A and B are shown apart, each in its own frame.
Chain A
Amino acid sequence: ETGVTQSPTHLIKTRGQQVTLRCSSQSGHNTVSWYQQALGQGPQFIFQYYREEENGRGNFPPRFSGLQFPNYSSELNVNALELDDSALYLCASSSPRTEGDTQYFGPGTRLTVL
């Protein structure tokens, strides 16, 4: 059983560009959540996907979008990058939601916007 993986590990972009971050869920997990963690802060919930449908969204603008694929891997897309988008982006996967379910986090992608 493999854990949650994310790619790339690090990424540098310039303001106005677009970026795609990828996440492979842990085997058997059909739910994935994305978080943004700014330096020195706790993670902030961006959105969650369940069986390829968005299932909950945090306080992030529409230029943050996502996809979940039939194999439950996921992408986070950010358009029109801003300097404040510089952060560690974490994805977490979980199995079908029942009380007591646990999220498993990937190591994150460090995005720097110049």
Chain B
Amino acid sequence: AQSVTQPDIHITVSEGASLELRCNYSYGATPYLFWYVQSPGQGLQLLLKYFSGDTLVQGIKGFEAEFKRSQSSFNLRKPSVHWSDAAEYFCAVGVDPSYDKVIFGPGTSLSVIP
């Protein structure tokens, strides 16, 4: 069965520093991969998604993620973090685009130091 792990429960970075959030998945075939962000009191917002094609995916808010099949990873990156990026980040994997089998990771909480 497919699963998603996010090894870092909590990360703290300084404003302006670079960021990388790790995500590893377990699935036999090429999965559909997503990164979502959740700010306090708000619903989930899709940052980016990978279905096929170029393994480096650009998203909103300056985020990007790279799919590495050999490592079963889909890490999220941002070159320069802003204080408003402080939130909970969820990696998710789906086995088809119909969304009835999307599995979310446990999340990584990001704090940003001014």
Q: A residues touching B (Cβ–Cβ < 8 Å)?
A: 4, 31, 33, 35, 40-45, 47-48, 55-57, 90, 92, 94, 97-103, 105-108
Contacts and interface: CB of A to CB of B under 8 A. Distances in A.
Given A41-B106, A42-B105, A100-B51, A94 B99 contact: yes
B45 to A, nearest CB: 7
29 contacts: A4-B43, A40-B106, A41-B106, A42-B105, A42-B107, A43-B44, A43-B90, A44-B104, A45-B101, A48-B98, A55-B98, A56-B99, A56-B100, A57-B100, A90-B43, A92-B43, A92-B99, A97-B98, A97-B99, A99-B51, A100-B97, A101-B99, A103-B46, A103-B99, A105-B36, A105-B44, A106-B43, A107-B42, A107-B43
Interface bracket on B:
20 to 34
Contacts of A92: 43-44, 99
A102 B92 CA distance: 13
